[in-house]
Amino acid sequence: MRLSHQERAEIDFVLTLRRRWSDVLYPALRAQYDARAADAPPATRKEAAPVVRALPSYRWFAWMERGAQKMLWRAVSDAVVRHGSARGPVCAPAALELDPALELPDWYTAWDIHVQPGGVWRNDASADIYELGAKLVMLGVNDDYTFHRAFVATAVPPGAYRRIVDLGCGFGKSTWPFKKAFPSAEVIGVDLAAPCLALAAEKAGAQGLAIRFRQADCAATGLEAGSADLVTSTMLIHEMPRPHLAATLREAGRLLAPGGLLRFLDFTWTGDPFRDVAIAEHGARNNEPFMAGSMGADMEALCRAAGLEAVRWVAFDERGRGSLDALAWPARAEWHFPWAVLEARKAA
């Protein structure tokens, strides 16, 4: 899409606003919290929450987070509507498998996730809007999907993978790097949203990537049991209610061959009460109602129940370093997500 000067200016304005929210308002809120809590630091997120909400900058911080997100989608949506949206043909070697009979679950359709009007599943324009807006989630530093390539390069061990299944693949940005890194593997992307899958397949075909994009529930993919050496997801499990999270992990365990690997890139609690309040309330302001519940799940127990072992979280630095091989993040002043990789292995 060739954006006009005006369209770029509108998007750049919102991007700058989000950056100042991240590197000015968030550090100011943190400084106020540290000063207020100096004598009696809260020990838990529950204890910290009322302290954070009473801070002078909190209402500005909260309002700007949601307000800037709405402005972002408005600018992106207007640009897509002006330019129009149409899917091109899916060219070999990519393949698209849609299920017209699939009923989308209520928990998925009841929310405009990320405050994107209409969600990502309604029509072709939804997928185009999501693709353009997703680049701005990383504050303009993921335009070439460095973040996703770093996940593949640092969190996934080298190996001769026969089949890789990417759950919740969206418009394909998390799936393409797997086929590029492991060209001999059969790579399958699974998602509920038909428009996103069509966009993913179109772009994969244009890149000459032999990827199957399949419309299905991540908790019931319809793929063969024991057929995958790697099951992965990126920014998926915090978007689903806990019962569906448990079912998705069971499906991942079913898909994996003995010794196969699970690598889910998502979020987990940091143990810093202030930061954990900020991420929990981000979920509410960004229309991600299941975030706090999924982050609070006993992931080790859920993975064990799915036949998985060697379960652990490791921190992930999205700026390029990737997986850090321990649950400890680099010190940073600006707002940033507590990215982490859930690692597990199918029992032999």
Q: For residues 13 and 139, which has the higher predicted lDDT (pLDDT)?
A: 13
pLDDT exceeds cutoff 70 at 11: yes
Backbone angles phi, psi at 147, to 5 degrees: -55, -45
Q: Following DSSP, what letter does each residue of 303-326 receive, concatenated? A: HHHTTEEEEEEEEEETTTTEE-SS
pLDDT grade, residue 125 (50/70/90)?
A: very high
Looking at residue 143, its pLDDT comes to 56
Give the pLDDT of residue 101. 97
Percent of the chain with pLDDT over 70: 97
- Please give the structure tokens belonging to residue 320: 């390029």
Q: How confident is the model at residue 316 (pLDDT cuts 50, 70, 90)?
A: very high
Beta bridge partners of 341: 265, 314
Answer whether residue 23 shows pLDDT above 70: yes
Average pLDDT over residues 96-120: 95
pTM for this model (two decimals): 0.96
Contact residues for 216 (Cβ-Cβ < 8 A; gap 6+): 99, 102, 190, 191, 192, 222
From residue 21, give the alpha-carbon distance in Å to each of 35, 57, 73, 91, 133. 20, 11, 17, 42, 17
Q: What percent of the chain has pLDDT over 90?
A: 90
pLDDT (mean) for 9-37: 95
Q: How far is CA 263 from CA 53, 165, 209, 217, 304, in A?
A: 35, 11, 22, 18, 15
What is the reported pLDDT for 187?
98
Mean pLDDT in residue range 238-254: 97
Domains and CATH numbers, the chain: 90-346 (3.40.50.150)
